[in-house]
């Protein structure tokens, strides 16, 4: 059953028409003033528990901003921050962050080989698909399909999100349906190794 949902999620993501496109990056820069404290002025957060948003993918970013504003994705630190913003504001912010260059946080050497194997080949025994199928070999993601760029993301943040998917706590949108199926088959050790590898991927 999980595989059926996974395949369905992939099909929906590839066939769905783009739900973004009109963001103005220049306008978005001005609208990110309240975001700087956690995500940095250019979207490259220096704080490991806050995600790097630079170059993450405009379609993915606008989808997540909409989920957060609608209360479908609960993030305590962002409570109320998007309430007064219009959908155009969200599109502009997404366009700005996507236009910025991602920085690498540097993979930790421990378990990086295991992480690389999982990212590039998955785990046939447990049914985990290779991450490159959606997020590309270099970690650049797939913007038209709405799959985020992962390379350079803080390991701590990636680990936290994979655990949230596995526990069913992060469940908004098609991406969540796909990622829940992937994360359910990953062990704690595999999640940590994968997060470490992704942090230095480029």
146-157 per-position pLDDT tens digit: 999 999 999 999
Tell me the C-alpha distance between 162 and 194, whole Å. Answer: 10
Half-sphere exposure of 140 (CA within 13 A, CB side): 5
pLDDT tens digits, one per residue of 14-32: 444 444 458 999 999 999 9
| 55 and 113 together in one domain | no
| 89 and 116 together in one domain | no
Q: For residue 109, what are the domain limits?
A: 2-13+105-199
| 160 and 88 together in one domain | no
Q: What's the whole-model pTM score?
A: 0.87
| 6 and 35 together in one domain | no
183 neighbors 6 (Cβ within 8 angstroms): no
Closest CA to 187 of 168, 159, 155: 159
pLDDT tens digits, one per residue of 74-91: 999 999 999 999 999 999
| 114 and 33 together in one domain | no
User: Which of 53, 78, 99 corresponds to the end of one domain?
Assistant: 99
Token pair for 66: 């909409």
| 59 and 32 together in one domain | yes
pLDDT tens digits, one per residue of 164-188: 999 999 999 999 999 999 999 999 9
Determine which of 2-6, 97-101, 115-119, 159-163 has the lowest per-residue pLDDT on average: 2-6
Residue 115 belongs to domain with CATH number: 1.10.760.10
| 35 and 61 together in one domain | yes
| 111 and 194 together in one domain | yes
User: Which of 66, 99, 132 corresponds to the end of one domain?
Assistant: 99
User: Which of 99, 129, 152 corresponds to the end of one domain?
Assistant: 99
Q: What is the pLDDT of residue 6?
A: 46
Q: What is the pLDDT of residue 172?
A: 94
| 112 and 191 together in one domain | yes
| 145 and 94 together in one domain | no
| 109 and 191 together in one domain | yes
32 neighbors 90 (Cβ within 8 angstroms): no
Per the structure, how many domains does the chain have?
Answer: 2
């Amino acid at each position: 059953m999980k595989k059926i949902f996974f395949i369905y999620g992939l099909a929906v993501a590839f066939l769905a028409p783009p739900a973004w496109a009109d963001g103005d990056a220049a306008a978005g820069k001005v609208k990110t003033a309240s975001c700087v404290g956690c995500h940095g002025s250019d979207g490259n957060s220096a704080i490991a528990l806050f995600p790097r948003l630079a170059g993450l993918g405009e379609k993915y970013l606008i989808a997540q901003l909409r989920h957060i504003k609608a209360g479908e994705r609960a993030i305590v630190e962002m409570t109320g921050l998007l309430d007064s913003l219009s959908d155009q504001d969200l599109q502009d912010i997404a366009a700005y962050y996507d236009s910025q260059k991602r920085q690498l946080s540097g993979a930790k050497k421990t378990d990086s080989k295991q992480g690389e194997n999982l990212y590039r080949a998955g785990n046939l025994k447990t049914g985990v698909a290779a991450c490159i199928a959606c997020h590309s070999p270099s970690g650049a993601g797939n913007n038209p399909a709405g799959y985020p760029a992962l390379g350079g993301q803080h390991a701590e943040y990636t680990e936290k999100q994979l655990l949230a998917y596995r526990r069913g706590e992060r469940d908004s949108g098609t991406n969540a349906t796909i990622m829940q199926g992937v994360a359910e088959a990953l062990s704690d050790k595999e999640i940590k190794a994968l997060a470490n590898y992704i942090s230095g991927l480029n």
